[in-house]
């Protein structure tokens, strides 16, 4: 797009002011991991905890956002890239609004997570790798997706027919097959202090 005719509009009420009003630092906690690894369960429990602490949060979820903003996108690699790009910009806008974001997405490609980090801003971005082994995720198979993927009924399924590039140096790593939910929440909380 030709941006020559756009002027960046600086508003008087800014992120800093909004963070002050809410008494918090607006960050994005980005949960990455396989389907069934427990990302949303941990994110939900963490959000409850933050809420009890008086923090103001918003949870973005892969499944949820695809019904709305990204309902025009499928699961090809190009669409997954665009999916993450848009989500990262929404995280940024929510952070600009002073809100702490919990973003729970498979986000299998390291390059996309890196791009998300750049969009959101390095200091605001925390990468949480939910490292539950695929055997355990497949055993749980909460949504029956692994079964379908193994049967070839779902194409581009991360961990089966599409790769998952594990984070090499996440800010936090949690394996929900080894830690309790409370321990997982605590590890993320500690990383924020």
Active-site positions read 107
**CB-CB contact of 18 with 98 (8 Å):** yes
Q: Does 192 bind its own copies (CB under 8 A)?
A: no
Among 110, 134, 154, 192, indicate the residue that binds its own copies (CB under 8 A): 154
Instruction: Give dist(CA 145, CA 159) in Å, integer.
Output: 11
Q: Tell which one of 25, 139, 143, 147 touches its own copies (CB under 8 A).
A: 143
Residue 122 in contact with its own copies, rule: CB under 8 A = no
> Nearest distance from residue 134's CB to its own copies, in Å?
18
C-alpha to C-alpha distance for 83 and 72, rounded to whole angstroms? 10
The CA-based angle 102-104-24, given to 5 degrees, is 5
Smallest gap, in angstroms, from Cβ of residue 179 to its own copies?
20
11 part of the interface to its own copies, by CB under 8 A: yes
Task: Please choose, out of 40-48, 121-129, 165-173, 178-186, the segment that lies near its own copies by the rule CB under 8 A.
Answer: 40-48
Distances (CA, A) of 114 to 102, 148, 158, 181: 17, 30, 18, 27
By CB under 8 A, is residue 8 in contact with its own copies? Answer: yes
Residue with tokens 């690894």: 37
Q: Which residues on adjacent β-strands are paired with residue 74?
A: none
Nearest-angstrom CA–CA distance, 66 and 63: 5
Interface map 61-100 toward its own copies (x if CB under 8 A):
x-xxxxxxx-xxxxx------x---x--xx-xxx-xxxx-
When asked if residue 17 is in the footprint of its own copies (CB under 8 A), the reply is yes
The C-alpha angle 127, 128, 130, rounded to 5 degrees, equals: 145
Contact residues toward its own copies (CB under 8 A) are 1-3, 5-9, 11-13, 17-18, 21-22, 40, 44, 47-48, 51, 54, 56-61, 63-69, 71-75, 82, 86, 89-90, 92-94, 96-99, 119, 143, 145, 148, 154
């Amino acid at each position: 797009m030709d941006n020559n005719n756009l002027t960046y509009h600086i508003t008087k009420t800014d992120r800093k002011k909004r963070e002050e009003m809410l008494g918090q630092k607006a960050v994005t906690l980005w949960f990455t991991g396989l389907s069934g690894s427990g990302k949303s369960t941990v994110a939900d429990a963490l959000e409850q905890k933050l809420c009890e602490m008086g923090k103001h949060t918003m949870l973005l979820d892969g499944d949820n956002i695809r019904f709305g903003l990204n309902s025009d996108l499928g699961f090809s690699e190009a669409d997954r890239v665009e999916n993450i790009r848009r989500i990262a910009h929404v995280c940024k806008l929510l952070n600009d609004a002073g809100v702490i974001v919990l973003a729970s997405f498979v986000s299998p490609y390291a390059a996309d997570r890196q791009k998300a980090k750049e969009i959101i801003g390095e200091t605001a971005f925390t990468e949480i790798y939910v490292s539950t082994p695929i055997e355990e995720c497949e055993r749980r198979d909460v949504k029956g997706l692994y079964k379908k993927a193994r049967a070839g009924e779902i194409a581009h399924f991360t961990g089966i027919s599409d790769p998952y590039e594990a984070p090499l140096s996440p800010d936090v790593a949690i394996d929900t097959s080894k830690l309790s939910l409370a321990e997982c929440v605590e590890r993320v909380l500690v990383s924020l202090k």
